[in-house]
Structure 1
Amino acid sequence: MGDWKFMINDPEKDLLSIGALFETNKIRKMYDISELYPTKIIKLLGINSERYSVKLADPEKFTVSEILRLAYIFNVDPNLILNVIQAETESKIADKISVQKAKRI
């Protein structure tokens, strides 16, 4: 991705704290943010609470647009969020590919 421009002129202080958690690598799984201002995040993301919970539990379901919106909401580089999602889903993806390879044989 290109350079991310922090575009929020008046960011929400409580949501900036979540951004700081991403910046300091305190977030290991997307579900780690599930209890942090969910109502506000859901409203700003424009999705319902059930979809938000499902995506936090299975972050590969986040769309690129939703990841970019989260980055905008938290005022962080989207790569920080993508890094968490990638680390969390790599083993699941490798397992799925192994299963598919085994079916071909």
Structure 2
Amino acid sequence: MLRTQVVKLARASAAPSIRRSFSISAIRAAEGDTGGMRSGGSAQADSFTKREQASENKFIKEKEMESLKRLREKLQQQRKHLDELDKHIQELEGEGGEHPQHIREK
């Protein structure tokens, strides 16, 4: 019996994952936590909250406008490329429109 107790103790000291940790750590706020809810809930807003919300809305709108501008530029480039391809097709049809083999050779 003493032998089994010694074996159990040896195994427990050899494997630190088996041992329990009794240390207590303090509760910490996660990044972005700002504290408790304001009194009155989300319906209650002071001037700072309103200004902050307006600033966020403005920032989001500016980012969306930049994104739309980039999309419009990209669309314009694609249209230009398609127009060039149409022009090239018309040139090929004008040169040898009667001979479809002429297109395959190029």
| TM-score clears 0.5 | no
Relative contact order (C-alpha < 8 Å, sep 6+): which is higher?
Answer: 1
> Highest Rg: 1 or 2?
2
TM (norm. structure 1) is 0.28
TM (norm. structure 2) is 0.28
